[in-house]
Structure 1
């Protein structure tokens, strides 16, 4: 399956990326299980987390290939190679580094570089990025995505990262975002797997409602 097909399938299932910054290998599978049960199909472990490649490997062995597992805060070609060796298929960066994008493309991995301007967005796409993440999105707000949508290729997967919450996710989708990355609003060090699962379910329900999908409810006894 190609990187574009990988991302499209994951986004169709659930257009939310769980960002597990600070997660430890000994807890990552329990957290991942809660996320997958809630409906998530994309999980990233930022490389400034403790022993990130071990966590990525554990997630990939446990949940791949049905879940798109990978790394965030990827800054070099060497890091791309290490993620690939660990079994990751997703490369997320905070910036537009064409070398990192090229390495991801060469490895057949999904590339989601972070951008902030239209010039950066087009540079990333020209370098072969699979999709784009607006970061930090809270610095501009949903109206910025609406303006970008007027010039970006219509089929470009666009995710908002930074400042997305359960109570405002509908604003981002309404403005033209295809998905969102969720960091400390979803997971932070010390938060239990059960608590992460409860928050994850709230985000999945809110995203489905924002996209006009039927939200499943528990029948009354």
Structure 2
């Protein structure tokens, strides 16, 4: 996982990455695409989930400590009467209804307060579990793989190098023709180097290294042929 990243790729960085892709594809029939995403998904929904969870759990916690709607209603009735116990007044049903109104009001307030934490920049992403981020980034990478026609290459040799900056994650997705010959462990090593470079703020260098390593891997199983055609653009895509 990428811990810290330099989110800026200069024009020189982009040109260097494009040149690295072009050079890599002189060694292999594989097609390499690099996609850098600022943020994979909007995580605001997670705060709505947490808000709903707190709103649901809070009354259960209160009841576990002996607080129930009837008790709240009776206390409110006594407060209205200036501390006197009234023999004729609110019925038990009235007190229960009043207590329930307090519970509902408490739930609404808690829901709004927790949901409002999303107003702080990056708070929702920080509170999103890592496994959700991992799934979202993988799904986004797969979508980009399809969107850029990497599944349509001759020989099924498309490779996507995907970086999501906000989630601090990177993935490599290779088409079926490659996965039959190259194990996942090999790609993990490539991602590891990319992550290390990104942590040091050298994202462009990390991407270039990942491209070069991918070309070396692909050239063993999918060397470039004389009749190979460059099927996809050799450039970094920013989304």
Q: What is the TM-score when the length of structure 1 is the normalising length?
A: 0.29
Quick check: which one's helix share is greater? 2
Structure number with higher relative contact order (C-alpha < 8 Å, ≥ 6 residues apart): 2
Q: What is the TM-score when the length of structure 2 is the normalising length?
A: 0.27
